Amino acid sequence: MNYERLFVDGEWQAPLSTETFDVRSPHDDRPVGTAPCGSASDIDRAVAAARKAFDEGPWPRMSVEERCTVLRKFVDAYGARTQQMSDLIIAEMGSPRWFSDLGQANGPWALMIQTLGFSDEIAWEQHRGGTLVRKAPTGVVGIITPWNVPQVTIAAKLFPALVAGCTVVVKPAPETPLDAMLLAEILADSALPPGVVAIVPGGTAAGQRLVTHPDVDKIAFTGSSAVGRWIGAECGKQLKRFSLELGGKSAAIVCADASLERTVAGLKFSSFLNNGEACVAQTRVLAPRERYDEIVMALAEMTSSLPVGDPDNAHNYIGPLVSARHRERVASYLDIGVAEGARVVAGGPGEVDGLTGHYVKTTLFADVDNRMRIAQEEIFGPVVAVIPYDDIDHAVRLANDSDFGLAGSVWTKDRAAGVEIARRIRTGTFGINAYAPGFESPFGGFKASGIGREYGPEAIEEYVELQSIQGVPEA
Ligand code: NAD
């Protein structure tokens, strides 16, 4: 898949930049495709088109129903391309087929459909005595996304923004420009007016230009907490709106009464989904001392049994990491864990036999102290730490002893007790006997995991400004 142009102002335009992205399979280095690497000037051109489309309309001035009618047709066209999208994301970033088919394309498609449904739940205009309170679109939105769930993170911003009447410039991650260009192909065939959406893959320079551009009214970002901090500070200087979906280090609290079989089966998904390259991965398992050995043994057995290899092969549970650079980073944490004194009970440092791509061994560390770096820092790979606890109060303290606050879970036969534990955990989402983000309810982080929420009707509210128009008696 080779793309030579950018999607700007409703058409395919030759990029101003001469740089390109050369995407290669993280499994076997075969070429997957190329795409332009947009420059700051390309961002300027896309923002100018989005600004014009917002200021001159018609998009922001159409009714919500009219916008949803246009978007519904787009969603139908997207639905016809989900298998192609899933295949492409597997090739681009090594997401294993079982996860990609479930979450990388059907997921965003379902999210788009649900967002259109939520448009009915918003009180777009309300009379309060003689005042009309309306929800006006925020304006031009810059969307900056990561590579791990590239379409989900775009869809979670694009659709609420478009429903609200905003115009949008999307800057996808350098590792995954191709799925964004496929999205642009579908957009190019849609009835969206020119300038309403632009797709400009690019690196840090393009991202920084989008953040600092004075004609952008809001930045919607998913990525690392480090970049999120910088974006928040820059937006603050301009009093630009922003929402941030950042990293995580989620704790799964296994209670003394938990079914071991059910817990291990659940954590196979919740800890290792998408090769562990998931912001919500349950990467700290808190185990009660009285069942500690039994839990470690069962988790080690499960971790060692996960088939690793070609992500295109549905048999494999774990694929390669996205890039050589990211592999080095994850591998360095395996060395750090050993140096910190954690006990390797599955996997560990070293090459994966028979595989030449960006693979690490799927790893379980036991005897981890929550203050160790492997318990505090986001590793973003198939690496899980088991931490012993004395009683539930201790488990709650350990779970909350983190800079992050994105997700968490508890595993117990006593669901009511689970809910009480959930209330004590400072994370944006939490699961009882399972964890997977659901598109119907708000998703986002406490603490360094972010500001703002996606999913649910709440997502749409992130793209509106409240305006009170006085002197409008109810008819
Ligand atoms: P990253 O922060 O390195 O990059 C994310 C995006 O920001 C990319 O498009 C990148 O080009 C761009 N960028 C980098 N520096 C920038 C700058 N100074 N200004 C503007 N844009 C800039 O993150 P990543 O490695 O691509 O993704 C992994 C991270 O994303 C992890 O921390 C993960 O937890 C997080 N994530 C969070 C969620 C969530 O919903 N909370 C979901 C998925 C991923």
* b/e 355-384 (16+ beta carbons within 10 angstroms → b): eebbbbbbbbbbbbebebebbebbbbbbbb
Going by alpha carbons, the residue nearest to atom 30 of ligand 1 is 223
Q: Please count the other Cβ atoms lying within 10 Å of the Cβ belonging to residue 172.
A: 31
Q: 52 burial class (0-12, 13-18, 19+ CB within 10 angstroms)?
A: middle
pLDDT digits (tens, 9 = 90+) for 129-176: 999 999 999 999 999 999 999 999 999 999 999 999 999 999 999 999
**Structure tokens belonging to residue 79:** 């639905």
Mean pLDDT on 299-309: 98
Going by alpha carbons, the residue nearest to atom 34 of ligand 1 is 247
Question: How many whole angstroms from 47 Cα to the centroid of ligand 1?
Answer: 21
**Structure tokens belonging to residue 283:** 């990467």
pLDDT of residue 328: 98
Pocket, ligand 1, Cβ cutoff 6 A? 144-149, 153, 171, 173-174, 203-204, 207-208, 211, 222-224, 227, 230-231, 245-248, 279, 378, 380, 406, 445, 450
Give dist(CA 451, CA 406) in Å, integer: 11
pLDDT digits (tens, 9 = 90+) for 113-136: 999 999 999 999 999 999 999 999
Confirm whether 245 is a catalytic residue.
Answer: yes
Give dist(CA 423, CA 420) in Å, integer: 5
Give dist(CA 372, CA 284) in Å, integer: 11
Alpha-carbon distance values, 297 to 258, 275, 421 (Å): 15, 21, 25
Give dist(CA 90, CA 85) in Å, integer: 9
Give dist(CA 50, CA 323) in Å, integer: 33
Question: How many whole angstroms from 196 Cα to the centroid of ligand 1?
Answer: 24
pLDDT digits (tens, 9 = 90+) for 334-386: 999 999 999 999 999 999 999 999 999 999 999 999 999 999 999 999 999 99
pLDDT digits (tens, 9 = 90+) for 189-207: 999 999 999 999 999 999 9
Task: Choose which residue among 246, 273, 333, 377 to substitute to test ligand 1 binding: the one with the highest number of ligand atoms within 8 A of its C-beta.
Answer: 246
Atom index in ligand 1 nearest the CA of residue 248 equals 34
Considering only CA atoms, which of 287, 309, 311, 307 is closest in space to residue 299?
287
Judge contact between 57 and 28, C-beta under 8 A: no
Confirm whether 461 is a catalytic residue.
Answer: no
Question: How many whole angstroms from 170 Cα to the centroid of ligand 1?
Answer: 13
pLDDT digits (tens, 9 = 90+) for 42-88: 999 999 999 999 999 999 999 999 999 999 999 999 999 999 999 99
Q: Please count the other Cβ atoms lying within 10 Å of the Cβ belonging to residue 260.
A: 15
Per-residue HEC secondary structure of the chain comes to: CECCCEEECCEEECCCCCCEEEEECCCCCCEEEEEECECHHHHHHHHHHHHHHHHHCCHHHCCHHHHHHHHHHHHHHHHCCHHHHHHHHHHHHCCCHHHHHHHHCHHHHHHHHHHHHHHHHCCCEEEECCEEEEEEECCEEEEECCCCCHHHHHHHHHHHHHHHCCEEEEECCCCCHHHHHHHHHHHHCCCCCCCCEEECCECHHHHHHHHHCCCCCEEEEECCHHHHHHHHHHHHHHCCEEEEECCCCEEEEECCCCCHHHHHHHHHHHHHHHHHCCCCCEEEEEEEHHHHHHHHHHHHHHHHHCCECCCCCCCCCECCCCCHHHHHHHHHHHHHHHHHCCEEEECCCCCCCCCCCCCCCCEEEECCCCCCHHHHCCCCCCEEEEEEECCHHHHHHHHHCCCEECCEEEECCCHHHHHHHHHHCCCCCCEECCCCCCCCCCECCEECCEECCECHHHHHHCCEEEEEEECCCCC
| Marked catalytic residue, from 37, 68, 235, 279 | 279
304: pLDDT confidence band, cut at 50, 70 and 90? very high
pLDDT of residue 48: 98
330: pLDDT confidence band, cut at 50, 70 and 90? very high
Question: How many whole angstroms from 222 Cα to the centroid of ligand 1?
Answer: 5
Atom index in ligand 1 nearest the CA of residue 225 equals 32
Atom index in ligand 1 nearest the CA of residue 175 equals 26
Cis before 58? omega within 30: yes
Considering only CA atoms, which of 161, 109, 171, 154 is closest in space to residue 135?
161
Mean pLDDT on 383-395: 98
pLDDT of residue 474: 84
Q: Could you tell me the pTM of the whole model?
A: 0.98
26: pLDDT confidence band, cut at 50, 70 and 90? very high
Start-to-end CA distance of the chain, whole Å, equals: 56
Judge contact between 38 and 45, C-beta under 8 A: no
Atom index in ligand 1 nearest the CA of residue 144 equals 9
| Marked catalytic residue, from 37, 92, 235, 245 | 245
Residue 475 in this model has a pLDDT that exceeds 80: no
Judge contact between 441 and 455, C-beta under 8 A: yes
Kindly give the pairing relationship between strand 218-222 and strand 241-245.
Answer: parallel
